[in-house]
Amino acid sequence: MLAPSDKLTNVEVPLQILLFVDQRPNSKEQIRQIRAFFKERESNYRFELQIIDVGEQPYLAEHFRLVATPTLIKIHPEPRQVLAGSDLVAQLERWWSRWQRSVEEFFLEREETQANLVSADQPNATAVQSVVQSTEILKLADEIFRLKQEREELRSQLQFKDQIIAMLAHDLRNPLTAASIAVETLEIGHKAENQSSRFTPALILQLLNHARSQIRTIDRMITDILQAAKGSSAELHIQPQELDLGVMCREVLDSLHDRSQSKHLAVNSDIPNDLPLVYADSERVRQVFVNILDNAIKYTPSQGKIHVSILHRTTQKVQVSICDSGPGIPEENRDRIFEDHFRLQRDQAQDGYGIGLSLCQRIVRSHYGQIWVDSTPNQGSCFHFTLPVFRMQQ
């Protein structure tokens, strides 16, 4: 780890790289892959890879203005270059030849400078100018590449928002129609002149519950679209308070009862009555429950099973587990499913925006909890997340 007084660059090491990671479980595997990449490409010149934990040295993350981890930064030779995301090895493969050329340019420039200093004759202005021009061209090329990357990111965001708007216009039609039919049916029953034609209290309650369920679906879709419009960098406002997680879980299960029944799913729960209160934002945690349960219902085949359990795992944490008997998640995608806009190839035809699980991850982490998935292909998936136990201040 770097100390505050350590120099980040050393001209004796021509290629110098910083890798910023956090405490997520997959960080060790990312470090191993990146080290293996450099080990396979050892050359005649030395390189230095420094691993920096942003939790232990946040001032360095602030200095380099990091927006995500993991992030790889080439700090020498100039110009500096930043690679970020979960596919760092793939990015390194694309950039490795360019980095080699930048090191060769560095050696060439240093040799030219040393030759000019020791020469008794007047320095060769043309040669110096050529090195300077080459360096400037390299800097300009990197700047052009960076601008192209930004342009592609902006274009991708615009295309995603266009896609979201089109999907929303299509998806809203079904719950709107269902809610309208329920309300119109209630109105017809209320206006019936013949007492025998009026609806029974049980039927009225059923229609009201159906309309309420559809309106909640619409509200959830609008919430998702607003979150997508803000982007993954938007600040999450969390207002934690004491919360009975068991009560909330039962409420969400009741609200989704009609959907699970329509597919004849067996929904079981194991929620102890003596669970401690958690310290969390009720609306945000409700979003996590709804998103994960909604996915479980969507991807579990007809007559499948869903099991929800809550466990007082430690004195500090409560763990929620939501398991289904769906198709499972391929092992290579189990980290990526929490990325913004990511969707499995098989799910492209399914309704959805690819933001639900990334939003869940942001919410859980904002509560200093963890979220992860265990899955077996063709047998189902279990999503787990933890929340802190509420403790009265002494």
- Residue ranges covered by each domain of the chain: 15-150, 172-230, 241-388
List Cβ neighbours of 370 (8 Å cut-off, separation of 6 or more): 364, 384, 385, 386
pLDDT digits (tens, 9 = 90+) for 113-144: 666 655 544 444 444 455 456 566 767 777 78
Strands (E), the chain: 15-21, 47-53, 71-76, 81-84, 241-243, 266-270, 278-280, 305-311, 317-324, 371-376, 380-388
Span 71-92, mean pLDDT?
81
Helix (H, G, I), strand (E, B) or coil at 38: helix
**pTM strictly above 0.95:** no
Query: Around 330, how many Cα atoms within 13 Å sit in the side-chain half-sphere?
Result: 8
Q: Which helix (H) or strand (E) holds 34?
A: helix 27-40
pLDDT for the residue numbered 269: 94
The alpha carbon of 200 is separated from its chain's Cα centroid by a whole number of angstroms, namely 48
**CATH number belonging to the domain at 241-388, selected among 2.60.40.10, 3.60.20.30, 3.30.565.10, 1.10.540.10:** 3.30.565.10
Residue 38's CB is within 10 A of a number of other CB atoms, namely 15
CATH for 15-150 is 3.40.30.10
Residue corresponding to tokens 């998936």: 381
pLDDT digits (tens, 9 = 90+) for 312-354: 877 889 999 999 999 888 887 777 788 765 555 555 445 444 4
**What is the four-CA torsion angle of 355, 356, 361, 367, rounded to 10 degrees?**
120
